[in-house]
Amino acid sequence: MNKIKNIFLNGLIDLAQSRLGSKIVYKTDEFFAPAKRIINPWPPVFKEGVFDKHGKWMDGWETRRKRTRSHDYLILKLGKPGKIHKVDIDTSYFNGNQPSKVSLEACFSKKKLPNKNSKWINILNKKSTKPNSHHFFNIKNNSVFTHVKLNIFPDGGVARIRIYGDMKINKKFKNKIINLTSVLNGATPIACNNEHFGRAENILAPGKGKNMGDGWETRRSRGKNFDWLILKCATAGKINKIQIDTHHFKGNYPDKCSIQAAYLNSKISSKNIVKKSRNWKLLLNKVRLHAHKKHNFNNKLMKNKKINYIKINIFPDGGISRIRAFGRAE
């Protein structure tokens, strides 16, 4: 049996996801499919034989065929300003109607829609695209951006765009009780061993999960295994209450879970974090979980010192919609 490789998320968050408040503020065209679908947090789907008044229903943004010498583009306002490190331009289910090429520009603007005086910076030169594929690109620019322009040449459809980066958080949390594992406060995923059915970063999202796809879910485990996910807290603090939410997970929730925690130097690599996490102290001993329920733990928490990382262990596998770790920021 092949050894399953760990997934290193490296503390990056999808800055384009609609749950952070990201919005499409301009598009040249959306004849076949609305641009807003491109930032949906869940994976795209294909609906066989479904048509609307414009043609085949597609889960993404799709423009009409160009009959002039120009190209289409959209402008996305990021939910939170941030530095962009990686992008994924996903053409899933667009086969024969994907763009020939794509490019990206970005700017910083305090306005909802940048004006003519805004300085757009090219962050990704024209790249060829393939049908029904993920296109991953590293971005080498340390500037903080608020808006991204996706250019497609000359026209076509894109299912999703993921813009992975570091959020710029201006909030001051010291001595306040906050949710240390909220993405809105700056919490990020570091690594996990599996996210087959639901992305790890979903567990940090605000509000209640919409469905099973809006949570972290692993594949079915075979054998004496357990799954795990490491998160970096929004800031260092002392946790006094933890909530594990299994909403929508009814026949696939974990049987049990435990939580470990540690305080680590911020310069440590993700691989070393994973290696050291095996010996982290328990914050929550192994407890039983139930289907479609919020589980609140405070009396069962171990006495802890200041921490800035937590590790969620689920036994043997399954899905969790949200985790909320409340504590006093330090």
Distance CA 172, CA 127 (A): 40
Residue 4 lies in a domain: no
H or E stretch covering 275: helix 270-277
User: Does residue 28 surpass a pLDDT of 70?
Assistant: yes
**298 or 299, higher pLDDT:** 298
User: Residue 118: what pLDDT?
Assistant: 95
Same domain, residue pair 32 and 139: yes
Same domain, residue pair 143 and 216: no
Structural domain including 162 reads: 13-167
Distance CA 232, CA 92 (A): 30
User: Residue 171: what pLDDT?
Assistant: 75
User: Residue 169: what pLDDT?
Assistant: 82
Backbone angles phi and psi of 200, in degrees to 5: -60, -35
Retrieve residue 21's tokens. 């408040």
User: Residue 30: what pLDDT?
Assistant: 98
CATH code, domain carrying 297: 2.60.120.260
Retrieve residue 293's tokens. 């329920």
Q: What is the pLDDT of residues 133-178, one digit of tens each?
A: 999 999 999 999 999 999 999 999 999 999 999 998 877 888 999 9
Boundary (domain end) residue, out of 121, 150, 167: 167
Boundary (domain end) residue, out of 126, 143, 167: 167
Boundary (domain end) residue, out of 167, 196, 216: 167
- The predicted model scores a pTM of 0.89
Retrieve residue 60's tokens. 């993404």
Q: What is the pLDDT of residues 184-194, one digit of tens each?
A: 999 999 999 99
Retrieve residue 152's tokens. 């497609």
Residue 8 lies in a domain: no
Q: What's the rounded mean pLDDT across residues 89-95?
A: 98
User: Does residue 4 surpass a pLDDT of 70?
Assistant: no
Q: What's the rounded mean pLDDT across residues 262-288?
A: 93
User: Residue 250: what pLDDT?
Assistant: 97
Same domain, residue pair 71 and 145: yes
**164 or 305, higher pLDDT:** 164
